[in-house]
Structure 1
Amino acid sequence: MALGGGTFLTQNKVLPGTYHNFISAARAFVNLSDRGYSALPIALDWGVDEGVFAVTQEDLQKNSRKIFGYEYTHEKLKGIRDIFKNAITVYFAKLNIGGTAAENEYAKALYKGARGNDIKIIIQQNVDEPSNFDVQTLLDNVLVDEQTVVTAADLVANDFVTFKVGASLTATAGTPLTGGLNGATALTNGGAHQTALDDLEAYGFNTLGCLSDDQTIKSLYMEYTKRIRDQVGGKFQLVGHKLGSPDHEGVIDVQNDAIGDGEEIFGAVYWTAGAQAGVAVNKSNTNKKYDGEHTLDMSETKTQPQLTALLKGGKYVFHKVGTETRVLDDVNTFTSFTPDKNEDFSMNQVIRVLDQIAIDTAHLFNTRYLGEVPNDPAGRITFWKDIVAHRLEMQRIRAIENYDKEILTVEQGNSKKSVVLFERVQATVAMSQLYITTEVA
C-alpha cells in the first residue's frame, strides 16, 4: 500500500504517512560587503577592445603582458601599479574608439592599439621535418608563442594574434605587424569616456578614477557620480584631479600635480583611487604614507596657510612629513554644511560607513526578503533582527558606535508591499587632532 509523504505547508494531508519539512535554524545576517574594488576608464595600447574587464592584483603580477601588452615592470604600467598598491580588483574600460589592430600577411593582432606594431612573426623550416614550419610569435623580440605546423590552417590563435588560415607559409626572419592605432584616446574625447561610464554602470565598485585634465570630461564624471549616488543608489566615490568646486560627499578632489618628463598631471589619481577603495570601513587614510611611483608637486602644499585653505576648500592633499609624502586629511569636496548635513559628511571615513550600510542593507533585503517574506509583523520582526545583527557587527569592528537598537523601527509603509526603516547611526572616525594642556607645578 502506498503511504503519504513529503513536505507540507499546512496540516491538510489525507493519506497516512510522514510529512517532514527541513528548515534552517534562524541565523542573523552579519555579512559585510568587501571593499577594494575600483573602476578606471583608461587609454591603453593593448587589451580588451569593448566593454569592461576585471583585473586582480594576482592577474597583474602574473599576466600583465597578456592583459596590457607590457611586462609588469614596464614604465607604461606605472599608473596601473599605483592603483594596485591598495585596490584588490579594478574594472578597466578601454577608452580607445576607432582604433585598428596591427596585422601582416600571416596574422592579425588580437586587440586594437599601437602595441600590436611590436609583434612580429618568424617562420622557419622545421629541422627534423623539413615539410613542417616552426611559427614563432614575438612581442618586443620576446618569444610568446611557438607552433609547428604543416600549413597556416593548422595554426591556433594565441594570446596576441589570430592567424590567417589562407596564408602561404614561407620562411621569414621576422615579419612585423603594422598599422596598429589606439584610435580616439585623447583625454578630451567625451564619447570614449561616456561609453566607458555607460559600460561601468552595471558594476559595483568603491571608487571611480577620472584620468583627464579636461574640465568638460571632469564635469561628465562628476555629474555621472552624483546621478548614480543620488538617484540610482550606487555607492562609490569619484577620484579626480583639480575638479573645481563639486561640493559633494561622493567626489574626492586631488590637489597635487604629478610632475616630471612625460608625467600625466593627474597621476596621483591612480594611487588615490586604489587607496580609497582599499581602505577598510573602520579605517581612515588620514596621514597614510604615499608609496606611489609618481612624483608629486608640493609647491601648493608647503605652508600651514596653504594647507588650511585647501582643506577648507574640500581638497585631498598630499604634503611632506620629514622625507615622506603623506595624505593630510581623508576628506571629500562637501563643504556646504547645514544642520541636516553637517561636517561629518566631509569625512571619507563617515561616507564609507554610510555607503557600507546602504550596500549591505540593500543586499540583505534584495536577496533574503524581496518577493520572499510576507510583509506582516513576523516578517518585519525578522528583518529588524537582521538589521540589528549587521549593525552590531559594524559596531564590533568599531566602524560605528553607540548603536541603539531600540531606536530602530521597521514598519509597513503606505502600501501593503512597502517597508519603512528608521534608525540612528554614529560613525566612528580616527583620531586626527590632539589638543594638550599641561599644567606645570
Structure 2
Amino acid sequence: MNGGTFTPGVEKARAGIYFNFKSTALQRVGIGDRGTVALPVQTSWGEAKKFVSISSVEDLNRKVGINIDDPSLLLYREAAKKAKTVLLYRLTEGEKAAATIGDMSVLARHGGSMGNSISIRIQPNVLDTDKRDVLTFVGTDEVDRQTVGTIEELQPNRFVEFNGSGILETTQGTFLLGGANGTPSNADYTAFLEAAETEYFDTIALPVQGNEQLKATFTSFVKRIRDRQGIKVQGVLANYPGDFEGIINVTDGVILEDGTEITPELATAWVAGASAAATFRQSLTFMEYQGAVDVLERRDEEEVIQRLGKGEFLFSFDPRDKTVSVERDINSLTSFTSEKNQLFRKNKIIRVLDGINNDITSEIKLLIKTRKEAGNDIPANDDGIQFIRTLCSVYFTTLEENDGITNFDPETDLDISLNQDRDGFLINAGVQPVDAAEKFYFNVEVR
C-alpha cells in the first residue's frame, strides 16, 4: 500500500495512506515493535550483496559462519549491544582463498580473509585403506569430514568446494591462500541502499569516513523513503550536518575497555542500534554506552553547547563514575519552522511520530482487509468516518494510557471529514506529547 506525506488541497493519484505531521498536530506513537537496524559491513566471510537477519550469536554462526570475536565484526558487535535484530549486508565479495592438493583444487565458498584460515587434511581411512578421510578445518575447528575413494565423490560443504578427478593425495594440512576482504566502493554502498528498500528496519547506518557525496546520497535516500514512500526510518551517519529530523549526525567517538577506539563513523553502529531499540517512552539522553570507558575527545561546556546547537549527537564522560553516556538524544535538524519546531529535533518525539505512521497504517490496512474478507469496503461516507474515528480514538487512548501522550480528548482532538474527491478521509489530530525528563533543577536551602 502506498504512503508518504501530502500537500493540503493536492489530491494524490495513487490510493494510499498519507500523513502530514505538524507542530500543531503532533501525532505520536510507539506501541509497535522496534529494534531492527540495517548495517553495511565489510566482513571477512559470508555471502555478499544480501541482507542476513541476525538476532543472536547462534544466528551469526549458522547464517554467516564467523566467530563473534572476529575483528571484521566490530560494527556488528557495537550495534548488537542494543539492537534486537541486525540486518547485516556484506558490501563486497573480496577474493576467494584457494589451494591445490595433487590433482584436486579447493576453493573457498566466499571471498574474504577468513578463507586463509581454512585448511584441508587428507588421511587414509582406518576401516578401508582404499578410501580417504577428507577433513575441512576453520582454524582448529573441524567443520566437515567426508570419506571417499576419489576426488569426484567429494561434495561441497559450507566452507569450500572441491574440483578435479582421480586419486586423493594425502596431506597433514594444506591451508588455502589468497583470501582478501576487498574495499567497498560508492557503487557497493549504493547497492546496499537499493537492497534496503525492500527490507523492514527502524534505523539504517552509514559507517563511512569522509565521502560527502555518498553521505548526500544516503541523506536523499532516507528523505525519499520517509516522505515519498511513508517508510519512517532514521539514518545515522558521522560528521554530516543533514539538517533533517530523519538524519542523526554522530560527531563523537568513544574508547572501549580493551583500548579499541570507536571513531564517530564506527559509533554510528551503536547509535543506530540503540535508536532502533528505543521505545516511544524512552530517550537515549543519559543512556550509557556499554563497554566504553572514555570519549575520544573531552570537551568543555561551551563547546558542547555549541555543538548541540548544530544538531550533533555527542557522548559525555563522567569522571565521577568513569562512565560514557549520550549527551542529548537529538537529530540533525537545525532549521526550525512553524510546521517543524524544536520538538522535531528530539529523537524521542520522532520515534513517536514514526510509530504513528507505522501503527495507524497497519491498523487501517487490517480494517480494510477485514472488511474486504466480509465482502465490504470502508465506505467514503459518514459510516466510514465513524470507522476511522473509532480506530484513531482507541489507538490514541491506548497511547495515552502508555504515557505517550496526555490530555487527549477524542471529541476535540479528532476532526475527520471526506476529502475533496470524496474517495477518502482527511484526518486532523491534535495531541500533547509526553517528553522525557532531561533537566533537573534543585533549590537547596541550608538550615
Give the Cα–Cα distance (whole angstroms) in 2 for the partners of residues 391 and 165 of structure 1. 67
| 1:208 partnered with 2:208 | no
Assess if the C-alpha contact under 8 Å between 1:102 and 1:178 holds in 2.
yes
Give the Cα–Cα distance (whole angstroms) in 1 for the partners of residues 345 and 166 of structure 2. 62
Partner of 1:391: 396
Counterparts of 1:324-343 in structure 2 under 5 Å? Answer: 324-343=323-342
Partner of 2:432: 426
**How far has the Cα of 1:219 moved from its partner?**
1.9
Partner of 1:170: 169
Partner of 2:364: 365
Instruction: State the SS of the aligned residue for 1:115.
Output: helix
Give the Cα–Cα distance (whole angstroms) in 2 for the partners of residues 268 and 127 of structure 1. 53
Aligned length: 402
**How far has the Cα of 1:41 moved from its partner?**
1.3
| 1:317 partnered with 2:286 | no
> TM-score under structure 2 normalisation?
0.83
Instruction: State the SS of the aligned residue for 2:161.
Output: strand
**How far has the Cα of 1:206 moved from its partner?**
1.1
Give the Cα–Cα distance (whole angstroms) in 1 for the partners of residues 53 and 58 of structure 2. 14
1:372-424 Cα shifts (integer Å, max 9, x gaps): 43333223312221222122222111122222212213332122432221111
Q: Which of 98, 111, 122 in structure 2 is aligned with 1:103? A: 98
Assess if the C-alpha contact under 8 Å between 2:261 and 2:296 holds in 1.
no
**How far has the Cα of 1:79 moved from its partner?**
2.4
Seen in structure 2, the aligned counterparts of structure 1 residues 101 and 66 have a Cα distance that, compared at 3 Å, is farther
For 1:39, the aligned partner's letter is A
Partner of 1:413: 419
Assess if the C-alpha contact under 8 Å between 1:331 and 1:347 holds in 2.
yes
Give the Cα–Cα distance (whole angstroms) in 2 for the partners of residues 264 and 278 of structure 1. 22
Counterparts of 1:39-438 in structure 2 under 5 Å? Answer: 39-56=38-55, 58=56, 61-96=57-92, 99-104=94-99, 105-164=104-163, 166=165, 168-185=167-184, 189-214=185-210, 215-243=212-240, 245-258=241-254, 266-292=265-291, 296-299=295-298, 301=299, 303-321=300-318, 322=320, 323-369=322-368, 372-406=377-411, 407-437=413-443
Give the Cα–Cα distance (whole angstroms) in 1 for the partners of residues 438 and 306 of structure 2. 18
Assess if the C-alpha contact under 8 Å between 1:93 and 1:200 holds in 2.
no
Higher relative contact order (CA 8 A, sep 6+): 2
For 1:37, the aligned partner's letter is T
Assess if the C-alpha contact under 8 Å between 1:52 and 1:93 holds in 2.
yes
**How far has the Cα of 1:66 moved from its partner?**
4.8
Seen in structure 2, the aligned counterparts of structure 1 residues 53 and 36 have a Cα distance that, compared at 3 Å, is same
Instruction: State the SS of the aligned residue for 1:109.
Output: strand
1:260-313 Cα shifts (integer Å, max 9, x gaps): 6786552211211111111111111110011146963133x3x11111111111
Instruction: State the SS of the aligned residue for 1:232.
Output: coil
For 1:196, the aligned partner's letter is F
Give the Cα–Cα distance (whole angstroms) in 1 for the partners of residues 254 and 239 of structure 2. 12
1:78-130 Cα shifts (integer Å, max 9, x gaps): 32111111101111221116x33223334322222222222121111111111
For the pair shown, which has the larger CA radius of gyration, 1 or 2?
1
Give the Cα–Cα distance (whole angstroms) in 1 for the partners of residues 186 and 338 of structure 2. 38
**How far has the Cα of 1:191 moved from its partner?**
0.5
Give the Cα–Cα distance (whole angstroms) in 1 for the partners of residues 167 and 67 of structure 2. 32
- The percentage of counterpart residues that share the same residue type is 29
Structure 1 unaligned runs (5+)? Answer: 1-29
RMSD: 2.4
Give the Cα–Cα distance (whole angstroms) in 2 for the partners of residues 82 and 31 of structure 1. 24
For 2:213, the aligned partner's letter is T
Assess if the C-alpha contact under 8 Å between 1:38 and 1:87 holds in 2.
yes
Seen in structure 2, the aligned counterparts of structure 1 residues 261 and 55 have a Cα distance that, compared at 3 Å, is closer
